[in-house]
Amino acid sequence: MNFKNCIFLIFSIALVGCNQKTLTINSSVKRIVYPGVVGLSPSVEYKISFESSSDFKIDALKLNTNEIKEFSLYDESTRKSIISANLLKSGKYAISFKVKNIRDIKKPEEATIFILSNNKTIKKKGKIKTIEPLRLR
């Protein structure tokens, strides 16, 4: 193997290694949830499924420009709740949260997840799809 081919091979491996996706949003949906108890008001429930290829910690979550402070984090393989303040292993996860304002259900929205991985902040956006309402009555 000559010197040019060796350099090209090393450069190609380095380029592919730098292009690995750390964070991928698999799906993001929202729907109106009508509670089963009379007197309670409906809300909009959001669920964002994502995958990380390296260890990470959730830095922030935004819905359009509004930061979401309260959300639940689940491991999709075990379906168990996780504390989002901890360092998390690579894998598939889901974030869910609720918003009381149901008037803007038809409005197009975008969710942004910020994670800390390998001392870098990574930002990923995903458009939110509206699905059929859930009626618990």
> Which residue range forms the structural domain that includes residue 66?
21-135
pLDDT the model gives residue 104 = 83
Assign residue 119 the CATH number of its domain.
2.60.40
Asked if residue 63 is part of any domain, the answer here is yes
Asked if residue 42 is part of any domain, the answer here is yes
Tens-digit pLDDT profile for residues 85-137: 788 999 999 999 999 988 888 899 999 999 998 889 999 999 999 999 988 86
Strand 43-52 and strand 23-34: pairing?
antiparallel
Strand partners, 92: 51
For the whole model, what pTM was predicted?
0.80
Spatial contact of 60 and 123, defined as CB atoms under 8 Å apart: no
Asked if residue 11 is part of any domain, the answer here is no
Asked if residue 12 is part of any domain, the answer here is no
Provide the domain count of the chain. Answer: 1
Spatial contact of 20 and 103, defined as CB atoms under 8 Å apart: no
Tens-digit pLDDT profile for residues 61-71: 999 999 999 99
Asked if residue 85 is part of any domain, the answer here is yes
